[in-house]
Amino acid sequence: MAEKIIRVLLAKPGLDGHDRGVRVIAKGLRDAGMEVIYLGLHQTPEDIVEAAIQEDVDVIGLSSLAGAHMTIFPKVIELLKEKNAEDILIVGGGIIPEDDLKSLEDQGVDKLFLPGTTITEIAEFIRSKMDSRAA
Amino acid sequence: MEEWTFSQTGGGVLKGKAMNRQDLADRFRAGDRRAVARIISLIEQGDPLGTSLLAELYDPSKRAIRIGLTGAPGVGKSTLVNSFASILEKQKKKIGVVAIDPSSPFTKGAFLGDRVRMQDIKGTNVFVRSMATRGSTGGLSWPAWLTTAVLEAFGFDTIVIETVGVGQVDVEIRELVDTTCVVLQPEAGDSMQFLKAGLMEIADIYVVNKADKPGTNAMVADLKDFVKLITVRENGWRPPVVLTIANTGKGLDELIRAIDSHKGFLEQTKELDEKRKARIKRQLKQHFYEKMENEIWRAEWSDTLVQAAVNRIISGGDALKEAEELAASLIAGPNPV
């Protein structure tokens, strides 16, 4: 039997056009043995949730460098709940002020990664969450 | 299919929780796209539940038109799928897309980037699944075959399969689909390339994408010349050469007409049925191989035999004799009388 490979959806939501960071993450998670589906720039929360469902991903990673995180991240979570898909792990990263961190995590973001985080930390976080779920 | 939205009636098919076979089957029949997505995942993971659900849900009366797009990396296959599917979507067709990208031979990870080009097909009548090759060669993977069948059973009327960026010998796509489009781009070699066996032989339609780039005219002239002189398939079909500029949608109407006319040809010559028969045969054979691989080659009892043969060869045994005897023992099974 083939093994379970972790599938991750990465997206740049909203009008933010900076995708170097997310491409580095994509390469890093790929090298950590995951299948990374990249949606590209300018994605709406609806696009992201629909793609996550079609692709049956384990994790959604949102990259935000332009300040829309407080609007978009909670919307993604709300839509996932609506679609009965809140079991998908939500992580985010980018420029997110400290004041917003707790609020987003309270609203259901599983983990936010700030500048300076290593890819190994991100991959290990995802893997440990998946392992605890499988157990 | 009446229901294309998610059924909202509780009892989600959640990851990590016990999955209810009946629930998945019911939701699939009710048109729940999460159930399709999950069944594809089960198949991809090699979970027998996936293939057994496919067998249960398979409905021979549901038949989709299967179109394959293949070609080298970066020629514009995903962008073509985007333009193609968005036109069909406007015609109220229901379209399934299987887009394949390579897995790493080192880490098994993959970057599946085809959706980046598919920004215009986010409507509810299109379902896109990105898949990694997971060790397969040939441009496809076995799960991609089964996924196509799942999408067909779900009721998509058109299924588009985009191979990985292929090389000259990756020709498996022709067996999976009804119409194979080989996508080329200008400056991809001169007429000597057209004479080469393999990829250039499997086209039912040649698509020259990026047809606004320098070199297009010379290439198309050579290609058309080649088709006119030499390329009549044994069934009498002469592959047309279609020019496209996928990111503007130019030439897509012509491509759609070419695909339709190839379908008409297949129906008229009864070849559609022949293709389906060949496909079923191929799938049976593959199923057999999978069984051999999983239940014999990877089994503990066979590993013991293989290791023993290896050791005998290392210490001077006759390799051919050992191979013959091993094959006979493996075919005989774990408890020969």
**CATH classification of the domain holding B92:** 3.40.50.300
pLDDT in tens, B270-292: 999 999 899 999 999 988 988 88
Q: Determine the residue of chain A that is closest to B12 in CA distance.
A: A84
Q: Verify whether the Cβ–Cβ distance B109 to A36 is below 8 Å.
A: yes
Q: CB B293: neighbour CB atoms within 10 A?
A: 11
B275 in any annotated domain: no
Residues B92 and B147 in one domain: yes
Domain that holds residue B130: 60-269
Strands (E), chain A: 7-11, 35-38, 59-64, 89-94, 111-113
Helices and strands: H and E segment counts in chain B: 12, 8
**Residue B328 included in any domain:** yes
The shortest C-alpha distance from B19 to chain A (Å) reads 13
**Domain co-membership, B156 together with B239:** yes
Fill in the amino acid letter for B240.
P
- State how many domains chain B has: 3
Last residue of a domain, one of B12, B38, B57: B57
CB contact under 8 A, B127 and A36: no
Q: Which of B336, B213, B193 is nearest to B328 (CA)?
A: B336
**What number of CA atoms fall less than 13 Å from residue B93's CA on the CB side?**
17
What pLDDT band is residue A133 in, cutting at 50, 70 and 90? confident
| pLDDT of A120 over the 70 cut | yes
Measured distance CA(B337)–CA(A11) in Å, rounded: 59
How does pLDDT run across B69-109, given as a tens digit for each residue? 999 999 999 999 999 999 999 999 999 999 999 999 999 99
Q: Which residue of A has its CA nearest to B142?
A: A2
Determine, yes or no, domain membership for B227: yes
Q: Is a pLDDT exceeding 70 seen at residue B167?
A: yes
Note whether B34 contacts A84, CB cutoff 8 Å. Answer: yes
Does the domain spanning A7-117 belong to CATH 3.40.50.280?
yes
On whether both B42 and B76 belong to a single domain, the answer is: no
Residue B4 and residue B105 share a domain: no
Select the residue of A32, A55, A87 nearest B109 (Cβ to Cβ). Answer: A32
Return d(Cα B311, Cα B317) in angstroms, integer: 8
B155 and B35 share one domain:
no
Q: A135 to chain B: nearest residue by CA?
A: B16
Out of A3, A40, A83, whose CB is closest to B115?
A40
**Residues constituting chain B:** 337
Q: Do B199 and B242 sit in the same domain of this protein?
A: yes
Hey, is the C-beta of A78 within 8 angstroms of any chain B C-beta? no
In-domain check, residue B337: no
Of B17, B113, B122, the CB nearest to A38: B113
Tokens at B97, concatenated: 């897309």
Q: Do B305 and B167 share a structural domain?
A: no
Co-location of B315 and B236 in the same domain: no
Q: Are residues B42 and B87 both part of a single domain?
A: no
Residue B2: the pLDDT is 31
Q: How far is A114 from chain B (nearest CA, A)?
A: 23
Q: Are residues B66 and B52 in the same domain?
A: no
Q: What is the ipTM of this complex?
A: 0.93
Residues B259 and B166 in one domain: yes
When CB atoms are compared, the residue of B108, B127, B294 closest to A33 is B108
CA A71 to chain CA centroid, Å, is 15
B67 shares its domain with B160: yes
Shortest distance between the Cα of B21 and any Cα of chain A, in A, equals: 17
Q: Flag whether pLDDT at B232 surpasses 70.
A: no
The whole-angstrom distance between A79's CA and the closest CA on chain B is 12
**SS3 sequence, B171-220?**
CCHHHHCCEEEEEECCCCCCHHHHCCCCHHHCCCEEEECCCCCCCHHHHH
* Residue among B83, B222, B53 nearest B147 (CA): B53
- For tokens 């038949």, name the residue: B63
Q: Chain A contacts of B82, Cβ < 8 Å?
A: none
